[in-house]
Amino acid sequence: MSPIQIILISGVVFITLYLYQRLRSNLIDAILIFLFCGGAVFFIVFPDATTAIAQRVGVKRGVNLVFYVTILFLFFLILKLYSRIRKLEKKFTELVRDKSVEKAEFLEKK
């Protein structure tokens, strides 16, 4: 096993354990998290497996396939996060607005 494999595997295991202890909400979540972890470790230990899949979809090297999929996934994530931010901003604005209107004052002394 090469050093990079050890680094990657310990990283994946660390993230998995961290996720698990933070959001061990139900069994399905836990199973999913560990499945992802298992998959990641598998492809790290047997990197040639990705190449086999890659060649089936017309990509030469497994690394390239992983790279393409990752870009897509990250882009999707950015869009999701951004729309979440917009929703939050909208709620926040409404809160600030309601409060400010509630506290509106007429400055001339009666």
Partner 1 sequence: MTNPSAIFIIVPCFNEARVIRDTINVLLERGYNVIVVDDSSADNTREKLKGLPVHYIRHEVNLGQGAALQTGLAFALEKGAGWIVTFDADGQHDVNDIPRMMEVMEKNGAGIVFGSRFIEGGSANLTSSRKIILRTARLINYFASGILLTDANNGLRLITREAALKMQITENRSTHSAQIQDLIRRNQIVFAECPVHISYTDYSRSKGIRNIASIRILYELILFKIFR
CA distance 67 to 43: 13
Contact segment (CB under 8 A) with partner 1 among 33-41, 46-54, 55-63, 102-110 equals 102-110
Tell me how far, at minimum, the Cβ of 103 lies from partner 1, in Å. Answer: 7
Residues 97 and 104 sit within 8 Å (Cβ to Cβ): no
CA distance 93 to 107: 24
96 makes contact with partner 1 (CB under 8 A): yes
Tell me how far, at minimum, the Cβ of 74 lies from partner 1, in Å. Answer: 17
Contact segment (CB under 8 A) with partner 1 among 20-28, 42-50, 52-60, 89-97 equals 89-97
CA distance 15 to 28: 18
Residues 16 and 37 sit within 8 Å (Cβ to Cβ): yes
56 makes contact with partner 1 (CB under 8 A): no
Q: By C-alpha distance, which of 23, 22, 20, 47 is closest to 34?
A: 20
Contact segment (CB under 8 A) with partner 1 among 36-44, 52-60, 62-70, 91-99 equals 91-99
Residues of the shown chain interacting with partner 1 in the complex, contacts defined by CB under 8 A: 82-83, 86, 89-90, 93, 96-97, 99-101, 103-109
